[in-house]
């Protein structure tokens, strides 16, 4: 007889990671193309021998460093093994079986998985025709069972972001006892004039949580560190839901070092933003529909051509991330990688015109 598992297991969507094809240009996982920060490499070497010991379970030094970075008290911070773990800790803290979790769709593909794992019901609110979150529809989707709303800003995979007015309408529109989680995994690539920092705008509201990660601009995707900023009582609950020791000692030290090198992080992020604009302009010129992006990737609205476009890229040893029948997400790489990608994109557009 097979073991009895929860009914949700048979319908749980699988997370589809970006492909890792050896030797190829990887533009599929929204990682930094510039590699490990040299300042962090030195710290990793220094602490490597420590991995025979368990890490500080409370990540106290890291939490102090994050608190200082944001100018807040440490009791407002919780960490996890990547912001995806932090999002699931938040869901574990807030969602009971049968409760509803609202998010735009398509948004970060972990949200439905996280929701199903805690026994919640996912409520997917379609993005607008411009691939932007429809905050009024999200407010309208709230019911008495709603416990959590995710706002992915900028949104993965579309790269679009809502501005301060929309953020305020969403925060004002949902009940004050429903958690609003603003996922800012791509914050470092945003134009701050257009998209305010959610914590600066909404951080004093006790039901607002902002998540951040070291995986993207800080170039630490493989070490798994993320965190949230929240009201002290919410942060305390999120900490209780962390898998014990999930943030390794090396990861804690690396994240502290990366925070200390924020000028270099911002310099690299600016390079990516400049390349993003160059890539988008070239794609628009070639005839693609590409919404304005505030992240380190662009979204090609290719519909039924998504799979064939990704296959054409793969033939040229470039891995992108297709969402069949919807579009293709392409991470901004180095200048040379982007040039290689654009050559394939131009050829693909040309072959469609023939």
CB of 144 to ligand PLP, least distance (A): 28
Residue 242 interacts with ligand PLP (CB under 6 A): yes or no: no
List, in order, residues 6 or more apart from 152 with CB less than 8 Å away.
103, 104, 107, 108, 111, 133, 183, 185
Q: What is the largest CA-CA distance in the chain?
A: 62
Which segment (7-15, 76-84, 97-105, 190-198) binds ligand PLP by CB under 6 A? 76-84
Residue 246 interacts with ligand PLP (CB under 6 A): yes or no: no
Whole-angstrom distance, CA of residue 211 vs CA of residue 214? 11
- Per-residue burial over 303-331, b if 16 or more Cβ lie within 10 Å, else e, is eebbeebbebbbeeebbbbbbeebbbbbb
Residue 82 interacts with ligand PLP (CB under 6 A): yes or no: yes
Residue 83 interacts with ligand PLP (CB under 6 A): yes or no: yes
Residue 159 interacts with ligand PLP (CB under 6 A): yes or no: no
Which segment (66-74, 80-88, 94-102, 268-276) binds ligand PLP by CB under 6 A? 80-88
Residue 213 interacts with ligand PLP (CB under 6 A): yes or no: yes
How far is C-alpha 11 from the geometric centre of its chain's CA atoms? 23
- What are the structure tokens assigned to 195, written together? 């998209």
Q: Which of 55, 112, 226, 327 binds ligand PLP (CB under 6 A)?
A: 226
Residue 84 interacts with ligand PLP (CB under 6 A): yes or no: yes
CB of 195 to ligand PLP, least distance (A): 14
Q: What element of type H or E holds 299?
A: strand 297-300
Please, are residues 338 and 279 in contact by the beta-carbon 8 Å criterion? Answer: yes
Beta strands in 153-225 (DSSP E): 179-183, 208-213
- Per-residue burial over 71-97, b if 16 or more Cβ lie within 10 Å, else e, is ebebebbbbbbbbbbbbbbbbbbbbee
Which SS3 state, helix, strand or coil, does residue 157 take?
Answer: coil
Closer to ligand PLP by Cβ: residue 122 or 221: 221
Closer to ligand PLP by Cβ: residue 187 or 348: 187
Number of shown-chain residues binding ligand PLP (CB under 6 A):
13
Which SS3 state, helix, strand or coil, does residue 173 take?
Answer: helix
Spell out, one character per residue from 288 to 327, where the chain touches ligand PLP: x when CB under 6 A holds, - when not: ----------------------------------------
Q: Which of residues 167-196 bind ligand PLP (CB under 6 A)?
A: 183, 185
Residue 215 interacts with ligand PLP (CB under 6 A): yes or no: yes
Which segment (79-87, 127-135, 194-202, 270-278) binds ligand PLP by CB under 6 A? 79-87
CB of 160 to ligand PLP, least distance (A): 12
Q: What element of type H or E holds 62?
A: helix 60-70
Q: Which of 152, 162, 210, 230 binds ligand PLP (CB under 6 A)?
A: 152
Whole-angstrom distance, CA of residue 286 vs CA of residue 345? 8
- What are the structure tokens assigned to 246, written together? 């999930």
CB of 191 to ligand PLP, least distance (A): 18
Residues of the shown chain interacting with ligand PLP in the complex, contacts defined by CB under 6 A: 30, 82-84, 108, 152, 156, 183, 185, 213, 215, 221, 226
């Amino acid at each position: 007889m097979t073991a009895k598992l929860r009914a949700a297991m048979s319908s749980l969507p699988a997370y589809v990671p970006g492909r890792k094809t050896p030797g190829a240009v990887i533009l599929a996982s929204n990682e930094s193309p510039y590699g490990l920060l040299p300042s962090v490499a030195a710290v990793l070497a220094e602490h490597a021998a420590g991995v025979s010991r368990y890490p500080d379970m409370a990540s106290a030094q890291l939490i102090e460093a994050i608190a200082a970075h944001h100018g807040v008290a440490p009791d407002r911070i919780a960490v996890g093994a990547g912001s995806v773990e932090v999002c699931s800790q938040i869901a574990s803290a807030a969602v009971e079986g049968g409760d509803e979790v609202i998010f735009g769709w398509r948004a970060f593909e972990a949200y439905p998985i996280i929701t199903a794992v805690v026994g919640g019901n996912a409520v997917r609110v379609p993005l607008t025709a411009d691939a932007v979150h429809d905050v009024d529809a999200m407010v309208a989707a709230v019911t008495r069972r709603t416990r959590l709303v995710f706002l992915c800003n900028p949104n993965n995979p579309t790269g679009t972001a809502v501005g301060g007015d929309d953020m305020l309408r969403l925060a004002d529109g949902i009940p004050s006892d429903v958690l609003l989680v603003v996922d800012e995994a791509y914050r470092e690539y945003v134009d701050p004039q257009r998209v305010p920092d959610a914590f600066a705008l909404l951080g004093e509201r006790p039901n607002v949580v902002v998540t951040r990660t070291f995986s993207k601009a800080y170039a630490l995707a493989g070490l798994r560190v993320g965190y949230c900023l929240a009201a002290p009582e919410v942060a305390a609950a999120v900490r209780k839901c962390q898998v014990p020791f999930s943030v390794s000692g090396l990861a804690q030290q690396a994240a502290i070092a990366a925070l200390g090198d924020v000028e270099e992080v911002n310099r690299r992020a600016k390079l990516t933003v400049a390349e993003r604009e160059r890539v988008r302009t070239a794609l628009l010129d070639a005839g693609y529909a590409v919404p304005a992006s505030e992240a380190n990737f662009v979204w090609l609205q290719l519909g039924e051509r998504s799979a064939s476009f990704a296959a054409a890229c793969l033939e040229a040893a470039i891995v992108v991330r297709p969402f069949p029948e919807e579009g293709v997400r392409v991470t901004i790489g180095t200048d040379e990688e982007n040039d290689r990608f654009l050559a394939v994109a131009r050829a693909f557009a040309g072959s469609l015109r023939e």
